[in-house]
Amino acid sequence: MNKLWLIRRFLMAFLTIIITIIISWALIEYSPNSPANAILSNLRVTEASNPKFAQIYASELQFYKDLVPHGNPIIESLNYIIQVLHGNLGLDVISEEPVSAIIAQALPWTIFIVSTSLIISFFIGIRIGQKMGYKRGTKLDSSLTTFFTLLRSIPLYISGAILLFILGFELHIFPAGGAYSPTITPGLSLAFIESVLYHAVLPIFTLTLANLAGWALQMRANTIYTLGEDYVSFAEIRGVKDKLIETKYVGRNAILPLYTSLIISIGFSIGGSVFVEEIFSYPGIGNQLYYAITNNDYTLEMGIFIIIITAVVVGVLLADLTYSLIDPRVRNE
């Protein structure tokens, strides 16, 4: 692999992350109705109506005043980027705890349900989609295409709410919320692991259903396209068995375009878990982002945006770097 190309791709990824963070930060900090100004204006109204407020809560007032940028926007943005590169994402507006500590507690939960659901939906989806494409035009293909099209049109929060109502509240098969039972002490014990898996079933199932339809329909389209290639027609003329054509000649080549989508989806899914985690009261990044938006907790909001931005850009970079390992044609080029 060309070293110059590698250096260029890493620099592009790094600059993309930096520029995107600066734009996101500027839109939040310098908007006319920014959260910091809104909080500070409310505190000043309280201070005007209650003179003792400024004396009692002087440190809190100074804390929020420091959050509002006062200097040159370029210098302010550079200072913020320097702080981010040192791992300092600021203090949470509500709890005044380090944002990095809050994210560190929530991120593993989101990675767990997102990665598990993506892996399950990907492998099941490509297998079903491959069969649909190979059996194109049959009743099986038409029925499954209609089913997955309808499934894909159902919003994530609707399917999650339905599953929660039926399996959680009505049938009581699975818990209605949380990451584990409050009666169990967290740790590397069998009881804790079983409780975590049990509570994660509904969030994972919801995300799996949301992703399954997309993988199946994409794989079906890729399979149909691959079936029209000359090497497939030549294999059929030679009398190669259908099963071998389906797996070796068609399946391996049809799955290649989906590899990039899979890697990129990991980054996007971290931000896309907001509705699922809120519905099931799951303590992940999505739940924290919902909390931050509804409470004008913009330092936490910005910290989560940084995680999502980094995950997406790194996902694209990994897809570029590893695609040649599974496709020799790209490696030769």
Average pLDDT of the chain is 81
Alpha helices in 228-255 (DSSP H): 230-238, 242-244, 252-254
Tell me if the pTM is above 0.95.
no
Q: What pLDDT does residue 233 have? A: 76
Furthest-apart CA pair in the chain: how many Å? 92
Number of domains in the chain: 2
CATH code assigned at 326:
1.10.3720.10
Query: CA 79 to CA 75: how far, in whole Å?
Result: 6
Q: Is 222 inside any structural domain?
A: yes
117 shares its domain with 72: no
Phi, psi values for residue 98, rounded to 5° = -60, 130
Same-domain pairing of 81 and 116: no
- 99 within 8 A of 299, measured Cβ to Cβ: yes
Q: How far is the C-alpha of 210 from the C-alpha of 214, rounded, in Å?
A: 8
Q: Is residue 264 part of a domain?
A: yes
Terminal Cα distance for the chain, rounded: 10
Q: Is residue 183 part of a domain?
A: yes
Whether residues 64 and 162 share a domain: the answer is no
52 with 123, same domain?
no
Query: For the segment 246-292, what is each residue's pLDDT rounded down to a tens digit?
Result: 777 777 777 877 877 887 787 777 766 788 888 898 988 888 888 88
* Confidence check: pLDDT of 15 > 90: yes
pLDDT at 246: 72
Domain that holds residue 265: 108-332
Residue 322 lies in a domain: yes
Do residue 275 and residue 309 come from a single domain?
A: yes
Q: Which two tokens stand for residue 266?
A: 């990991």
Q: What distances in angstroms separate CA 274 from CA 17, 106, 140, 177, 318, one per listed residue? A: 22, 12, 35, 14, 24
Cβ-contact 133, 254 below 8 angstroms: yes
Query: What is the percent of the chain with per-residue pLDDT over 90, rounded to a whole number?
Result: 19
pLDDT (0 to 100) of residue 242: 73
